[in-house]
Amino acid sequence: MILSALLTSVGINLGLCFLFFTLYSVLRKQPWNSAVYAPRQLAKQTRRSQNGGGDEEEDDFFNFDMLLPSAGWVRRAWQVSEDELLCRSGLDAVVFIRIFVFSSRVFAIGGAIGIFVLLPVNYLGNQLSIDFYDLPNKNLETFSISNVNDGSNWLWVHFSAAYIFTGVVCYLLYYKDAEKLYKTLARVKSQSSQQINKRDRLLGFFRGRDTDVSHYEQKLEDLERNVRIEQHSLTGELPNTSVEVPAAFVSFKSRFGAAVALHMQQGVDPTEWLTEEAPEPRDIHWSSFSSSFMKRWISRIVVVVACVALTILFLIPVVLVQGLANLEQLETWFPFLKGILDLTIVSQIVTGYLPSLILQLFLYLVPPVMLMLSSMEGYLSSSSTEKSACTKVLWFTIWNIFFANVLSGSAFHQVNIFLEPKNIPKILAEAVPGQATFFISYVVTSGWTKLSSEISQLTSLLWSYVTGVFSSNDDEEIDVPKLPYHSEIPRILFFGLLGTTYFFLAPLILPFLLIYFCIGYITFRNQLLNVYEPKYETNGRFWPIVHGSTIFSLILMHVIAIGIFGLKKLPLAATLTVPLPILTLLFNEYCRRRFVPLFQYYPTESIVKKDKEDQNRPNMAEFYDKLVTAYRDPALLPVQYARNSSSLSSPLLNSQV
């Protein structure tokens, strides 16, 4: 690709983005669109009006301002503080936005180094020996490391840049960004429960082989004598069902007691008595409530195998289907299309776009499939299921978009490479720089376009118009969507991986990424405030995935650097790069010990503090009363209650915070 072609593509996409954002700023002001652009406010108003409280303050009359594009929403999205975001959309939203902040900072610094230091060095090389002057017709490769002469000492600039960039990323992971997040998390964990809308009672969740409930009670009393135990099991609570399940929710008088039951191995056989923190009632995955240790263990293994197979072998069925769905096949299946398909333009479009369309369709199926697989693993909560699906989608994306494009051989050939670890740096160093142009246009088309479609919500908008024509019921329940973290986070992290690996190979990618992260920051802040509502909390457990992905990206960059310096006949630089991945892994290991426990459990310090505060609260008795009915499987409730149970049980616990 030449520079002018890239600039054209960028221009077109930038124009489209601008158009969509302008369109959004007009459409969002139309009151009949608020079900699409501001469902959160609308739902709140609907609830308020259903409860008979307050008059409708919405004014429905026409105003000329409503047709003018404006940037007020950008200002509003920008101004919201992190605390307000935490309060309105939960910790997961804060983590999500932090990914943009972190990536923007990384690529602002990386971009400065890349554009002002590495790009000129690359451009001044003449390995590719292309005419120096005709800038617009310049091949983009001249801006990449491929253009630096073999054995040139200029490569030491790239070497230093790799070290500096790694240092910057690790520093940002530890101080200026992530530590802030850890501090927020620590604050949330030690904060008094009056202030924070989060799970505010630890509930030990017991599973066992035995089905005799009274036996449990006896055992539990033996185990935890300092804590008065109330035990509610499904069977105990619901006399109209006769199914006994070997699992129960157990509530404790104090958080500390629950934490003790959670952290200690109860019986001599560690698989007999399993304890887990109970999720919030709205977060429970009821179908895996009573599965045993063995069942969960086996299903987890099966799912892991299925996921690995799907991830590695995904491209094979896709390529096969693409082969089947070519022009001639279509003509055989749908003979009436023959006339149209014989037109040159149509046939060009079909043969040009059909394969990519099929690939896109298959890719759209991946997040739901991964979510389904994760739900088969038997996690007790939807949040854990989504977190697990997020990891799966991330690895899928890295493998099937990055490695499949870079290695571009048969899938089996790709797997083989990882059976010869010695050759990995060389193979990657040969293959990765060549795909720089592809990934630059991927950022511009896929990344920017996704943001436009996210903000404009065109499909939802069209759908609301279509349904609006057929239904005229104004009092209908507003369906406030949830941000699908398991498909969005992997996408953003993948752009981070592209930036990190191409940072010193083809720094031209960095400005486009930086634009993506900045627009994404504003877009998603706006969406989180107006469109998406948190259905449950993972307590920031997505951040370790972000951390892991960043470390993986750095290591991948180092491996490619080792290969590149080898190929460019600078073996000393290749050798001196070897300590870099080792140091990065050590840094990762330190962070794992230092920060990861914070994401998993509440420390004693904050639990005891919260317990003390609880003792002085007047409405604890009321809370215990509500707790009795909080954990009931909606499937076992009478039908009229079952439908509302998720919306009922959620305020039940939150009413008290």
**262 vs 630 by CB, closer to a copy of itself:** 262
Provide the minimum distance between the beta carbon of 396 and a copy of itself in the complex, in angstroms, as a whole number. Answer: 22
Of 463 and 590, CB closest to a copy of itself:
590
Mask 562-591, x = binds a copy of itself (CB under 8 A)? ------------------------x---x-
Query: Alpha-carbon distance 142 to 267, whole Å?
Result: 66
Residues 231, 627 contacting (CB under 8 angstroms):
no
Distance CA 170, CA 164 (A): 10
Report the site for a copy of itself in 258-277 (rule: CB under 8 A). 259-260, 263-271
Nearest to 230 by CA among 246, 211, 217: 217
Dihedrals φ, ψ of 208, to 5°?
Answer: -155, 170
Judged by beta carbon, residue 78 or residue 418, the one nearer a copy of itself is: 418
Residue 323 lies near a copy of itself (rule: CB under 8 A): no
- The site for a copy of itself, by CB under 8 A, has a size of 43
Among 65, 222, 328, 474, which residue interacts with a copy of itself (rule: CB under 8 A)? 222
C-beta of 69: minimal distance to a copy of itself in Å? 47
- The reply to whether 604 sits near a copy of itself by the rule CB under 8 A is yes
Q: Does 593 bind a copy of itself (CB under 8 A)?
A: yes
Q: How far is the CB of 228 from a copy of itself (least distance, A)?
A: 12
Among 190, 191, 650, 654, binds a copy of itself (CB under 8 A): 190
Q: Which is nearer to a copy of itself, 299 or 654 (CB)?
A: 299
Strand partners, 143: none
H/E stretch holding 207 reads strand 203-208
Q: Rule CB under 8 A: is residue 225 a binding residue for a copy of itself?
A: yes
How is 297-346 classified by DSSP, letter by letter?
A: HHHHHHHHHHHHHHHHHTHHHHHHHHHHTSHHHHHHH-GGGHHHHTSHHH
Residues whose CB is less than 8 angstroms from the CB of residue 199 and which lie 6 or more positions away in sequence, other chains included: 279, 280, 537, 539, 653
Closer residue to a copy of itself, CB minimum distance, 120 or 267: 267
> Which listed range, 182-190, 383-391, 435-443, 460-468, lies at the site for a copy of itself (CB under 8 A)?
182-190
By CB under 8 A, tell whether 186 contacts a copy of itself.
yes
Nearest distance, CB of residue 268 and a copy of itself, angstroms: 5
601 binds a copy of itself (CB under 8 A): yes
To a copy of itself, the closest distance from the beta carbon of 261 in angstroms equals 8
Would you count residue 615 as binding a copy of itself (CB under 8 A)? no
Interacting stretch for a copy of itself, rule CB under 8 A, among 35-43, 53-61, 340-348, 416-424?
Answer: 416-424
Smallest separation, CB 35 to a copy of itself (Å): 42
Shorter beta-carbon distance to a copy of itself: residue 250 or 440: 250
Cβ closest to a copy of itself, residue 481 vs residue 548: 548
Site string for a copy of itself, 419-448 (x = CB under 8 A): xxxx--------------------------
Q: CB under 8 A: which stretch of 172-180, 361-369, 397-405, 594-602 binds a copy of itself?
A: 594-602
Minimum CB separation from a copy of itself for residue 150, in Å? Answer: 25
Cα 399 to Cα 408: distance, rounded to the nearest angstrom? 11
CA dihedral sign, ordered 448, 451, 455, 456: positive
Report DSSP state, residue 284: B
Q: Is the alpha carbon torsion for 280, 285, 286, 288 positive or negative?
A: negative
| Closer Cβ to a copy of itself, 270 or 468, answer by number | 270
Alpha carbon distances (Å) from 353 to 13, 341, 408, 460, 571: 18, 14, 19, 24, 44
SS3 breakdown of the chain: % helix, strand, coil, rounded to 5?
70, 5, 25
Q: Does 470 bind a copy of itself (CB under 8 A)?
A: no
Cβ closer to a copy of itself: 270 or 317? 270
From the number of C-beta atoms within 10 Å of its C-beta (0-12, 13-18, 19+), residue 346 rates as: middle
CB of residue 182 to a copy of itself, shortest distance in Å: 9
Scanning 70-78, 146-154, 216-224, 626-634 for contacts with a copy of itself by CB under 8 A, the matching segment is: 216-224
CA distances from 462 to 42, 458, 466, 467 (A): 18, 6, 6, 9
Tell me the CA distances in angstroms from 428 to 423, 491, 504, one per residue in order. 9, 22, 14
Give 565's strand partners.
Answer: none
Joined tokens for residue 557: 């960059």
Beta bridge partners of 274: 207
Are the C-beta atoms of residues 545 and 390 closer than 8 Å to each other? yes
The closest alpha carbon to 516, from 460, 440, 459, belongs to: 440
Which of 598, 630, 648, 653 binds a copy of itself (CB under 8 A)? It is: 598
Rounded distance, CA 633 to CA 234, Å? 8
* Nearest distance from C-beta of residue 277 to a copy of itself, angstroms: 13
C-alpha span between 44 and 16 (Å, rounded): 33
Q: How far is the CB of 292 from a copy of itself (least distance, A)?
A: 13
**Which residues, 118 to 147, sit near a copy of itself by CB under 8 A?**
none
User: DSSP string of 419-484?
Assistant: T-GGGHHHHHHHHTGGGHHHHHHHIIIIIHHHHHHHHH-HHHHHHHHHHHHH---TTSPP------
226-265 residues near a copy of itself, rule: CB under 8 A = 226, 256, 259-260, 263-265
CB of 400 to a copy of itself, least distance (A): 23
Residue among 34 and 275 whose Cβ is closer to a copy of itself: 275
Q: Smallest gap, in angstroms, from Cβ of residue 504 to a copy of itself?
A: 25
Between 268 and 639, name the residue whose CB sits nearer to a copy of itself.
Answer: 268
Binding of residue 176 to a copy of itself (CB under 8 A) = no
Amino acid at 550: T
The distance of closest approach from Cβ of residue 188 to a copy of itself in the complex, given in angstroms and rounded to an integer, is 11
Q: Please say whether the beta carbons of 243 and 603 come within 8 A.
A: no
Binding site for a copy of itself (CB under 8 A): 186, 189-190, 219, 222-226, 256, 259-260, 263-271, 293, 297, 301, 416, 419-422, 586, 590, 593-595, 597-598, 601, 603-606, 608-609
